[in-house]
Amino acid sequence: MTKVHNFSAGPAVLPQSAIDAGIEALKNFAGTNLSILEVSHRSKEYVAVMDEACSIVKELWSLDDSYDVVYLQGGASTQFLMVAYNLLNTKGAYVDTGTWSSKAIKEAQNFGEVDVVASSKDKGYTYIPKDIVAPSDADFLHYTSNNTIHGSQFHHIPETNVPLVCDMSSDIFSRRVDATKFDLIYAGAQKNLGPAGATLVVVKKDILGKVNRVIPTMLDYRTHIEKESMFNTPPVFAVFVVLQTLKWIKERGIDQIEVDNKAKAALLYDEIDRNAAFNGPVSKEDRSMMNATFLMTDPSREADFLNACKEANISGVKGHRSVGGFRASMYNALTLDSVQALVDVMKTFN
């Protein structure tokens, strides 16, 4: 089979070991002679999957029992709502760095006062705001660690004296972070963790139960914590593949994954900076390791570049429809040789 270099922004490239394990589970899950698509989510075999998928997350981040891990559905978009429903009592502080943080802000405004304490909208979301200060009376500070559409990324954790909430959908487990600085982390799986359909939420227990409103059962984090992600039928297959991806991450080690991701990003950004046919819109100090966005100096050559990528078995580099240009998503499972293949095509346009 001809290798395709998959730069898709999500659903995205997965470790081959996770794909292979998923194929086997579709045929015969855990020796049950049943497909994972038809086995009970309350069977001991599947409960073991869910338990391990939660425990590895805590292990990778060195989290103690003051944190809970749950797997939900609805993607990060539902978390925009759930975060505000569960945490925003009077005021939420938000950092606006792109499309997804803007959507989170929009949802939060339905529940109380929203203070946008920093924004990069003034320059088309091409940089990360510095010196972020949340008001002391805010219930929490929310930010998006990596911006898939615009190609910027936080390379530091904001310092704050209020609970810290982060959407890590597109750079989770891509580098070493001190997860104990966060009170709630959420991530849609389909970029760095697994297939579409599962959403990871890590929450510190003591931030829940403080809002005055009644929270609908399905939107209350405590519901899913109490039932260990089994209040309703979870996304069974998606969580299984997430587990296989977590095993791959654990085996490789986050530190090595970070080294590899930096090498991939450096290779591509060096070519963007060297090659007069291309330019990068994002501030160099704020460039994303996960999603490199770039433009052609001569837009009339864009179709030719996409055709050249197609001929080189390169997929998924067309930029998001809202910004145009190109985007190379270099998630954990993408290999350095795939980045080299893209760079080799770019060199022919020099």
In 191-325, beta strands by DSSP E: 199-204, 278-279, 291-296, 314-315
Residues 6+ apart with CB under 8 A from 54: 69, 70, 71, 228, 229
Edge-to-edge, what's the strand order for the sheet holding 278-279?
Answer: 278-279, 291-296, 326-329
DSSP state of 137: T
Cα 283 from Cα 45, distance rounded (Å): 48
* Separation of alpha carbons 135 and 197, rounded Å: 35
Give the whole-angstrom CA distance, residue 58 versus residue 55: 5
* Residue 96 among the catalytic residues: no
Give the tokens for residue 112. Answer: 């109380």
Which residues lie across from 202 on neighbouring strands?
A: 69, 185
**What is the DSSP annotation of 293-315?**
EEEESSGGGHHHHHHHHHHTTEE
Active-site entry in 61, 96, 183, 191? 191
248 is catalytic: no
Q: Which of 200, 243, 249 is nearest to 60 (CA)?
A: 249
Whether 305 and 327 have beta carbons less than 8 Å apart is answered as no
Whether 191 is catalytic:
yes
Interacting residues of 79 by C-beta distance below 8 A, sequence separation 6+: 72, 167, 186, 199, 201
- List the catalytic residue out of 61, 68, 96, 100: 100
Give the active site residues. Answer: 100, 167, 191
